[in-house]
Chain A
Amino acid sequence: MPPFAGPPLQKTQFCHPKRETPNIITLNVGGQIFQTSPQTLTLAGPNSLLCTLTTSSLGSIPFIDRDPDLFSILLTLLRTGTLPSRAKVLDPEDLIHEAQFYNIEHLLISAITDPSSFYPLNLQKTLILPINGRDSPSAIATHQDGSVLVSHGSKITAFDWSLRRKTSFLTEFPAIDSLLFLSPSVAAAGASDYSGVKILDINSGLGIKTLNWDNPIYSTVQAIGASPEFLFASFESCRKNSNLIQVFDRESFRPLIDLGHEEKQGVEIGSAIPATKLNWVSSQALLMASGSYSGPFGCVGSIKLWDIRSGSRVAEIKENEDCFADVTVNDGIWGLFKVGLVSGEVYMMDLRRLGSSERWVSLGEGCSKVMNGNGKREGVNSKIVGHGNSVFCSRGENVEVWSEVLMGGKEKEGVFRKNVMGRREKVGQSKITQLDFGGNRMVLARKDEQAIEVWQGSGTNFVNWGWN
């Protein structure tokens, strides 16, 4: 029975010293005495130095020859899961270094870049990450711990999770079009005019392996995607007359299965369009592959869903009218989303009802601008990305966020409503070319700018106190 009932006792952090003396652990860090409970120290994880102290501290007080101020911050992190505000005056490098010493960096990462603290309506532009050289970013990749990879020209720059440190390395590609994180230290890269997918070690910049479609002599990479188990690559032959999606094992990079091998027949435009986007749909264990072809008479495309196990196509959506400019999948809200090339509107399709004659539903204001006659392509260069329970769509220099408002009713129906991110005052920015999400961050690149923008929810406090 707990010694006292009532208010929140999340963990058994209280104890009677006389009855259960070993339940308090005394530490001497750099001459300052700290006392805490073994439960708090075990939160550090089994590999941590602190966890080992819980068992060995019978008798003398263990002494750790480190800075006590930094330790008290990390102890608060262990106790509450959040960083105290006095940590803000410190250089984050000090804390990272100290956390690495105690082997609790993962706690620091989750306190700073926790994906569950991602609230789309609270994001604000917090950081600019400059990249060197004359090339502007051609591809961005993010990891769920918040680290960022950027390709610019033939170079790749990697920013670590704290966005305080970076490394750049040179690749053999002339330019990189597809970039993907496989683990915090391994990336996959490909180019639409160069052969093979390169698996790269981020720390050293050295290639680990090159994945090729071995059928034709030379094949380019149109898209890369990954699931927790597999790596997908969309290859096209250099003559642009055949293409396929190859599935690799994510650990061994062994080719497993080929999907949708197509050969171009005759002069028909719609045949043999390679996939330029590969999204894993984890709720249905399906691979979404989309590709489009833009010709003088308009744009045609197709969205296909593949079952990896059987290698069969589950559904195909042909796009003839108002073909997509970009497509994405959001598992959290069971939707396939596209932004129309001509209309610029955002459309949704229910993932659960694909096979049937499901149609695109416009999320916009309801006015259909599908055939706007003037031939203007409202959605050109728009990117669409699903993250959390929202869908983000770049439009010119702005990012729109579509969030679902649940209206209750019989079927718990929701309606989608739009917000434009950022403040109205900011004008005269260049167009957004890349958009991605990782951890609690939104990362974007703009046309002809040698920098990456990072948007974060800055803690909880948005109030600008006048006297500070």
Chain B
Amino acid sequence: MSNSLDNRLNPFETLISEQPANNNRPLKLNVGGQLFETTPSTLQRGGPDSLLFSLSTILTSPIFIDRDPQIFSLLLSLLRTGRLPSLSLQFSKEELLEEAQYYGIEALLKKAMAPPPLQGFDMSRVAVIWPENSGFQTKKGSFRAVFATSGDGSLWVAHDGQITGYDSMLSHSGTFRTHIDRISSLSRISPLTCGIGSEETPGLHFYQLLGGQFLGSVNWVDPSDPRIFKASVTAIDSSETNVFASFECRHRENCILSVDQSSLKVVSEIGRQGGSSAKAMAAMKLRFLKEFGALMVVSVTSGAFGHSGYVRLWDLRSGGVVWEWIEPGSGRSGRFGDTMADVDADEVLGAMFKVCSKSGDIAMADLRNLGSGDPWIYLEESNPSLKNSGGGHGSLIHCYNEQVFCSKESGLEAWCKIPGTEHLERETVPERLLERETLPEKAFRRNFVERESRGVITGIECGGERLFLSREGSEEIQVWETRRSSGSFLA
């Protein structure tokens, strides 16, 4: 893993300067019969809780440790330089991790092995995850993998009724069976718990990820209305304290329930609606926007006359709708007949992005400046050969770290910001500087990641500088990363 660590190791330098002088005295270690010489300050880089930190205060020398010397020499270079030497490729990741855990420096190792920042215009497929013993129950072709990731790049995949976990090094960390036969939504609520829902089995269910222990269920009930019965979950997201789940009854009445994470009890009911028209359908996507204290609710359905749906922003404190966008509708939209296929939001940019179902264009709306008019700014690609990417029917859109990933059937596009184009608002740019290049619609460039002929993309998730992709009819989850090694080989 020859990842350079960029600026992430800066804290080390300050650490050295703060230490008293005797921390630079030579210190001898005898690991499994091999002698190592280092300084206490190097050993202390693992953090005060590590075993090596406590060894560094011992004055007798040499200190004997009954472990494998080869792996220790790698971990010592990790402590010295902050990077793993290439010799570490001889060892499996599990072995390195186990040994690092023994010395208490696994956080450092994980940091050194983490992928570099994800750049949508420079990604390569680094791995394919294919869980064992996957769903036989679904017919071939109709399979849809449901997966969730988190900030450390670990992945949990739900295939039919079971959930398989992969840790931040993408090593398999466990599989368990849930009581549900077909999981259709999965969300990580905390590093150790997940919420799952199914279109067939009613209720929102919570499981402990390691060990697979069932924690409890939440159902939508209304004592005053007996028709609220057997509501299934269509989308899940969570904030730090609450879980939001969209419930839909058999007769299409739906609402969003806010559930307290610690007690697993319903706190409030948001946006109950009848489900009789496209603007009152159950949500297919929930995004909690922490910066704005709002919940973004997206519902798009595809029918004989094309896509229709809505985006709503709910203020969680007041419980009211802050902003709403319905397509097709109201005549506010500048693009009649080119309705949205999917919407997502990027909190860092403070912007919302949609993909149009007919033209496949991407539009952006400033979350801080949503008025009553049409907020959408349609992104333009200045390279004429890249202008058309095909229609956006059934496209998915996913935002991650100021980048927008959009699927076009089996292909994937990444819209990345051009460095230096910081002006999002047209009004702030002085009139004389208003050149074409500084316009917000010119701030992003389209990049085709790869056009694979097989399998329409059914899911995009990003986390831990990785992009995960699932395709229709396949149980594989593709893992994409930006890689620093050139991948050159001898001609």
Binding site for B on A (CB under 8 A): 3-9, 13-19, 23-24, 26-27, 33-37, 39-40, 72, 75-76, 79-80, 82, 84-86, 119, 121-124, 398, 401, 403, 405-408, 415, 417, 419-424, 459-467
Q: CA of A196 to CA of B126 in the docked complex: distance in angstroms?
A: 60
Q: CA of A37 to CA of B133 in the docked complex: distance in angstroms?
A: 43
Residue pair A36, B32 in contact (C-beta under 8 Å): yes
Q: B102-128: contact bitstring with A at CB < 8 Å (1 yes, 0 no)?
A: 111000000000000000000001111
Residue pair B171, A461 in contact (C-beta under 8 Å): yes
Query: A417-B178, A461-B92, A462-B172 are known contacts. Are A24 and B162 too (CB-CB below 8 A)?
Result: no
A7 to chain B minimum Cβ distance, whole angstroms, is: 4
Q: Chain B residues with Cβ under 8 A from A7's Cβ?
A: 49-51, 54, 103-104
Q: Chain B residues with Cβ under 8 A from A18's Cβ?
A: 60
Residue pair B32, A35 in contact (C-beta under 8 Å): yes
Q: CA of A15 to CA of B55 in the docked complex: distance in angstroms?
A: 11
Q: Does B94 contact A (CB under 8 A)?
A: yes
Query: A35-B30, A417-B179 are known contacts. Are A4 and B140 too (CB-CB below 8 A)?
Result: no
Given A39-B66, A420-B137: 5 more A-B contacts, CB < 8 Å: A17-B62, A19-B60, A84-B68, A459-B94, A460-B94
Residue pair A463, B49 in contact (C-beta under 8 Å): no
Q: CA of A33 to CA of B34 in the docked complex: distance in angstroms?
A: 8
Q: Chain B residues with Cβ under 8 A from A467's Cβ?
A: 126, 487
Q: Chain B residues with Cβ under 8 A from A459's Cβ?
A: 94
Q: CA of A35 to CA of B162 in the docked complex: distance in angstroms?
A: 46
Residue pair B64, A8 in contact (C-beta under 8 Å): no
Query: A398-B136, A423-B134, A463-B166 are known contacts. Are A5 and B64 too (CB-CB below 8 A)?
Result: no
Residue pair A36, B66 in contact (C-beta under 8 Å): yes
From A14, A421, A424, B66 is in contact (CB under 8 Å) with: A14
Q: Does B210 contact A (CB under 8 A)?
A: no
Q: CA of A463 to CA of B165 in the docked complex: distance in angstroms?
A: 11
Q: Does B428 contact A (CB under 8 A)?
A: no
A406 to chain B minimum Cβ distance, whole angstroms, is: 6
Q: Chain B residues with Cβ under 8 A from A19's Cβ?
A: 60
Q: Does B332 contact A (CB under 8 A)?
A: no
Q: CA of A23 to CA of B63 in the docked complex: distance in angstroms?
A: 12
Q: Does B18 contact A (CB under 8 A)?
A: no
Of the candidates B64, B91, B179, the one having the most CB atoms from chain A within 10 angstroms of its own CB is: B64
Q: CA of A4 to CA of B66 in the docked complex: distance in angstroms?
A: 16
Q: Chain B residues with Cβ under 8 A from A76's Cβ?
A: 68
A185 to chain B minimum Cβ distance, whole angstroms, is: 34
Interface residues of B in 158-177 (CB under 8 A from A): 160-162, 164, 166, 170-177
Query: A14-B65, A85-B92 are known contacts. Are A424 and B475 too (CB-CB below 8 A)?
Result: yes
A451 to chain B minimum Cβ distance, whole angstroms, is: 21
Residue pair B177, A424 in contact (C-beta under 8 Å): no
Q: Chain A residues with Cβ under 8 A from B125's Cβ?
A: 466
Residue pair A462, B94 in contact (C-beta under 8 Å): no
Q: Chain B residues with Cβ under 8 A from A417's Cβ?
A: 161, 177-179, 181
Q: B128-140: contact bitstring with A at CB < 8 Å (1 yes, 0 no)?
A: 1111111111001
Residue pair B66, A419 in contact (C-beta under 8 Å): no
Residue pair B66, A40 in contact (C-beta under 8 Å): yes
From B50, B129, B132, A123 is in contact (CB under 8 Å) with: B132
Q: Chain A residues with Cβ under 8 A from B30's Cβ?
A: 17, 24, 35
From A85, A415, A420, B91 is in contact (CB under 8 Å) with: A85
Query: A417-B177, A423-B475 are known contacts. Are A460 and B66 too (CB-CB below 8 A)?
Result: no
Residue pair B179, A407 in contact (C-beta under 8 Å): yes
Q: List 10 A-B contacts (CB under 8 A).
A: A8-B104, A9-B51, A14-B66, A33-B33, A35-B64, A85-B94, A85-B95, A119-B174, A405-B177, A407-B214
From B55, B170, B212, A4 is in contact (CB under 8 Å) with: B55
Q: CA of A27 to CA of B173 in the docked complex: distance in angstroms?
A: 37
Q: Does B422 contact A (CB under 8 A)?
A: no
Q: CA of A422 to CA of B136 in the docked complex: distance in angstroms?
A: 9
Q: Chain A residues with Cβ under 8 A from B166's Cβ?
A: 463
Q: Chain B residues with Cβ under 8 A from A27's Cβ?
A: 33
The 8 lowest CB-CB distance pairs between A and B, nearest first, are A35-B33, A420-B136, A4-B54, A85-B92, A121-B175, A13-B66, A7-B104, A462-B172
Q: Chain A residues with Cβ under 8 A from B192's Cβ?
A: none
Residue pair A3, B58 in contact (C-beta under 8 Å): yes
Residue pair B33, A462 in contact (C-beta under 8 Å): no
Residue pair B136, A405 in contact (C-beta under 8 Å): no
Q: Chain A residues with Cβ under 8 A from B92's Cβ?
A: 85, 461
Q: Chain B residues with Cβ under 8 A from A422's Cβ?
A: 132-133
Q: From A6, which residue of chain B is reached at the shortest CB distance?
A: B54
Q: Chain B residues with Cβ under 8 A from A460's Cβ?
A: 94, 171-173
From A123, A407, A415, A465, B133 is in contact (CB under 8 Å) with: A123
Residue pair B213, A461 in contact (C-beta under 8 Å): no
Q: CA of A82 to CA of B174 in the docked complex: distance in angstroms?
A: 18
From B51, B58, B143, B179, A405 is in contact (CB under 8 Å) with: B179
Q: Does B67 contact A (CB under 8 A)?
A: yes
Q: CA of A127 to CA of B395 in the docked complex: distance in angstroms?
A: 42
Q: CA of A461 to CA of B165 in the docked complex: distance in angstroms?
A: 11
A29 to chain B minimum Cβ distance, whole angstroms, is: 10
Residue pair A464, B130 in contact (C-beta under 8 Å): yes
Residue pair A424, B104 in contact (C-beta under 8 Å): no
Q: CA of A85 to CA of B88 in the docked complex: distance in angstroms?
A: 11
Q: Chain B residues with Cβ under 8 A from A466's Cβ?
A: 125-128
Q: CA of A466 to CA of B130 in the docked complex: distance in angstroms?
A: 12
Q: Does B374 contact A (CB under 8 A)?
A: no
From A15, A124, A465, B127 is in contact (CB under 8 Å) with: A465
Residue pair A415, B179 in contact (C-beta under 8 Å): yes
Q: From A423, which residue of chain B is reached at the shortest CB distance?
A: B134
Q: CA of A348 to CA of B64 in the docked complex: distance in angstroms?
A: 56
Q: Does B388 contact A (CB under 8 A)?
A: no
Q: CA of A227 to CA of B33 in the docked complex: distance in angstroms?
A: 47
Q: CA of A168 to CA of B125 in the docked complex: distance in angstroms?
A: 47
Q: Chain A residues with Cβ under 8 A from B143's Cβ?
A: 424
A308 to chain B minimum Cβ distance, whole angstroms, is: 36
Query: A13-B66, A76-B68, A423-B475 are known contacts. Are A463 and B170 too (CB-CB below 8 A)?
Result: yes
Q: Chain B residues with Cβ under 8 A from A14's Cβ?
A: 63-66
Q: Chain B residues with Cβ under 8 A from A3's Cβ?
A: 58
